[in-house]
Amino acid sequence: MKRAAFNHRLLPVALLVPQIAIIAIFFYWPAWTAIQSSFYLEDPFGFGSTFVGTDNYTRLFASSEYLKVAQFTILFTVIITVFALGAALLLAVKADKVLRGARTYRTLLMWVYAIAPPVAGFIGVMLFDQNIGPMTDLFNWLGHDYRLGLNYMDTAFAMTITSIWIQIPVNFIFFLSGLQSIPQSVKEAAMIDNASPTRRFWETTFPLLAPTAFFLLIINITYALFDTFGVIDTIVYGNPASNPMTLVYKVFVDGFRGNDIGGSSAQSVVLMLLVLGLTIFQFRMLERRIHYT
Amino acid sequence: MATVRLSNISKTYPNGAKAVHPTSFDIADGELIVLVGPSGCGKSTLLRMVAGLEDITTGELSIGERIVNTLDPAERDIAMVFQNYALYPHMTVGKNMAYGLKNRGIDKATIAAKVDTAAQMLNLTEYLDRRPSQLSGGQRQRVAMGRAIVRDPALFLFDEPLSNLDAKLRNQMRIEIRALQRRLNTTAMYVTHDQVEAMTMADRIVVLNGGQVEQIGTPSEIYRAPASTFVASFMGAPPMNLIPAHYNGNGTVAVGSLSLPIARPADHKGEVVLGIRPEDATIGGTTPFKLDLIEELGANRLLHGTIDGNAFTVNAPNDDQPLATDLTLSLPNDTLHLFHGESGVRL
Ligand SMILES: Nc1ncnc2c1ncn2[C@@H]1O[C@H](COP(=O)(O)OP(=O)(O)OP(=O)(O)O)[C@@H](O)[C@H]1O
Ligand SMILES: [Mg+2]
């Protein structure tokens, strides 16, 4: 291969500038501003700010409301991750049985699922609509007066189900392609070695899916923590006060609705640390094991 | 150890492809049967039906005393060695071998002992803690063998187990597998498309063509008396020379203007195919042979040429003598094979 040679010294720098600029403008600068303003108390009307040290942080961890949201976020994340991964794995295993060899069918199915997420999100929200949503009707029929946006549990339920619903297709695609990449002969060898289909799955198929599963675990945790913003916003928009929300949504609510820039910044810093932790965990695990070939 | 009986086993795939036509044969206790035939002739399909990996469309299969048609692969008391070895990538060599035993509820000490014995037999002892990805192709092949051996099954099934190895290793493993199978005295069914493997390993060979059995017999039966032109041309390297000829029943076959006496009279008169093994023809005789090309094989050499316009090959000892283009051959009449001109069936 011929090596491309830059005959101008400034060209590589020029080529890098847009990328660096984007990272700087949209990541480093806001992150730095957030860290900075988390140590200040901002006047709600924008007439200057006072340095308050770690007050914003102590206030945060003393706030029972913040702890409640944190608790909800953890539960929300665990439930979404478990159910979105579980349901997708189950669907993928079923689909894999049908799809062996049927290539065109497989590609078609993949396409449908690849387009699906935004559509699925919209449908999910519609399902729980107060006026036309079939889930609302179902609950009413079951004798429960379903109040989306008014009843804490009802709202939490809608948020969770919709968020799971959106994430399943992505997980499904990854699991399915993971399953399809397992050689048929390995599965057949296992059929000869082990009579129980369930144990066969957990002992010979699932371990080969472990890299995929681990990757998806991180993706799903990240999704539940951060990318569910849109769903939550669609559902609680208008009256966030008494409704469940995640930490990320609370940053938005406190900062832009409550005009508490200092507190909201402190919350973002906490979230940044969380992401940092998650990333370190992921790299550690990737280094350690979980791939075989 | 068991006898295996296939009676009228056939396979039609769901898409309508008829892969195996009704086939019957028995495999004696401790016998090694080789299924051989060209690509797509249904060897794997037949083997996989015995393994239980494909449903049997019609017919009855028994292993030992049991009819196993409806049993799952794990319940048939078989062990299989796959072409690509099909080792479990996430398990060590030791665990790969132990897995089948563990699932059959055998206690740990027995499993460890069996794995150790098999590992010693196959020179794998120092690799027991490695993953398959850390082994060479030949070592993986041994692990696959080990996984089959430790199970001590009623029947070994091999689907082209050597075809991913290089030629030298293939020869070595061929001999090892054969020796192991002899030593363990386990009934075995071995699929290959390599006729040398078939000839050297088999107690009996089943030659398949287009889903149909062409011939079943010992390697020497197949070699001495091929049942059809297909078998004659498939088994033997280089293959038997086949020349269209005419037979009028009076003890001679006519190849163009030539006439050859034949030892075995046959009832059929008319168009026939005359078969002569390259190693049965010798230089110097009465049949004119026009030499086109010499292939040196070391001890022997192959002389490619024509007899009366028909392609013909002679396998002659290599005496390093230069050869003229116009030679004569002697074709001993007791080495000539006759086949039906249309059906190709041996006469
Ligand atoms: N799952 C299947 N569905 C439909 N037809 C199949 C299937 N598997 C095999 N066949 C067909 O059945 C025939 C026999 O296939 P088989 O795999 O048994 O051949 P083979 O003798 O093992 O060939 P090779 O030496 O190439 O492995 C082929 O014509 C093949 O196309
Ligand atoms: Mg095959």
Contact A231, A160 (CB under 8 A): no
Asked if A188's CB is within 8 angstroms of B86's CB, the reply is yes
- The CA distances from residue B254 to B139, B243, B338, in Å, are 55, 10, 12
ipTM of predicted complex: 0.86
> Using CA positions, which residue lies closest to atom 10 of ligand 1?
B19
Residue B300 in domain: yes
Whether residue B82 sits in one domain with residue B19: yes
Among B160, B176, B180, residue whose Cα is nearest residue B168: B176
Identify the CATH number of the domain in which residue B261 sits: 2.40.50.140
Q: Which of B213, B230, B247 finishes a domain?
A: B230
Pair (B164, B287) in one structural domain: no
Ligand number, closest to the Cα atom of B37: 1
Do B244 and B215 share a structural domain? no
Output the pTM of the full model: 0.81
- Which residue among B73, B131, B133 sits closest to A192, beta carbon to beta carbon? B73
Minimal CA separation from B69 to chain A, in Å:
15
Name the minimum distance, in Å, from the CA of A198 to any CA of chain B: 12
Q: What is the pLDDT of residues B248-306, one digit of tens each?
A: 777 788 888 888 888 766 677 788 899 999 999 998 888 889 999 999 888 899 999 99
CA–CA–CA angle B337, B343, B347 (5° rounding): 30
CB-CB neighbors (< 8 A) of B79 in chain A: 192
Q: Specify whether B67 is located in the same domain as B186.
A: yes
Tell me how far the alpha carbon of residue B190 lies from the centroid of ligand 2, in angstroms.
11
Question: pLDDT tens digits, residue range A246-278?
Answer: 898 888 888 887 778 888 899 999 999 999 998
Find the domain containing B278 and state its range: 238-340
Instruction: Give the nearest partner residue to B133 out of A193, A195, A292, using CB atoms.
Output: A292
Residue B345 lies in a domain: no
Token representation of residue A201:
């799955």
Cα(B12) to centroid(ligand 1), Å: 11
Question: In angstroms, rounded to a whole number, what is the distance separating the alpha carbons of residues B312 and B306?
Answer: 5
How many domains are contained in chain B? 2
What residues of chain B lie within 8 A of the CB of A183, using their CB?
Answer: 84, 86
**pLDDT surpasses 80 at A7:** no
The amino acid present at A4, given as its one-letter code, is A
Ligand nearest B39 Cα, by number? 1
Position B347 in a domain: no
Claim to verify: residue B284 and residue B200 sit in the same structural domain: no
B185 CB burial (10 A radius; 0-12, 13-18, 19+): exposed
| pLDDT score of A216 more than 90 | yes
Question: pLDDT: is A55 or A276 the higher one?
Answer: A276
Determine phi and psi for A82, rounding to 5 degrees.
Answer: -65, -50
Confidence check: pLDDT of A107 > 80: no
What is the average pLDDT across B302-323?
A: 89
Output the domain CATH number for residue B70.
3.40.50.300
* A209 Cα–ligand 2 center, Å: 27
What tokens were used for B52? 């239980």
Which residues form the pocket of ligand 1, taking CB atoms under 6 Å from any ligand atom? Answer: B 13, 15, 17, 19, 37, 39-45, 193
Among B15, B45, B83, B103, most A C-beta atoms within 10 A, so best to mutate, is B103
Ligand that lies nearest to the alpha carbon of residue B38, given by its number in the listed order: 1
Kindly state whether residues B215 and B80 are assigned to the same domain: yes
Model confidence band, residue A121 (pLDDT cutoffs 50, 70, 90):
low
Please check the confidence at residue A2 and state whether its pLDDT lies above 60. Answer: no
Contacts of A196 in chain B (CB under 8 A): 103
Average pLDDT of span B191-205: 92
Is the pLDDT reported for residue B215 higher than 90? Answer: yes
pLDDT of residue B155: 94
- Strand runs (DSSP E) across B178-299, as ranges? 187-192, 204-209, 212-217, 241-247, 252-255, 258-261, 270-276, 282-296
pLDDT digits (tens, 9 = 90+) for B81-120: 999 999 999 999 999 999 999 999 899 999 999 999 999 9
Enumerate the β-bridge partners of residue B66. Answer: B63
Query: Do B263 and B218 share a structural domain?
Result: no
Are residues B300 and B178 part of one domain?
A: no
Domain boundary among B187, B207, B230: B230
**One domain for residues B295 and B331:** yes
Over range A229-256, report the average pLDDT.
Answer: 81
The last residue of a domain, from among B230, B247, B273: B230
Residues B321 and B209 both lie in one domain = no
B148 and B282 assigned to the same domain: no
Between A16-20, A51-55, A159-163, B280-284, the lowest mean confidence (pLDDT) is in: A51-55
Identify whether B346 is part of a domain. no
Mean pLDDT of chain A: 83
Residues of chain A contacting B51 with CB distance shorter than 8 Å = 188, 192
Give the nearest partner residue to A185 out of B75, B82, B133, using CB atoms.
B82
Q: Give the range among A134-148, B30-44, B106-120 with minimum mean pLDDT.
A: A134-148
**Phi/psi at B263 (5° precision):** -75, -40
Question: What residue ranges define each of the domains in chain A, with the CATH number in brackets?
Answer: 48-289 (1.10.3720.10)
Question: Percent of chain A scored above 90 by pLDDT?
Answer: 27
Same domain, B164 and B38: yes
Average pLDDT over residues B29-55: 93
Does the residue B62 lie in any domain?
A: yes
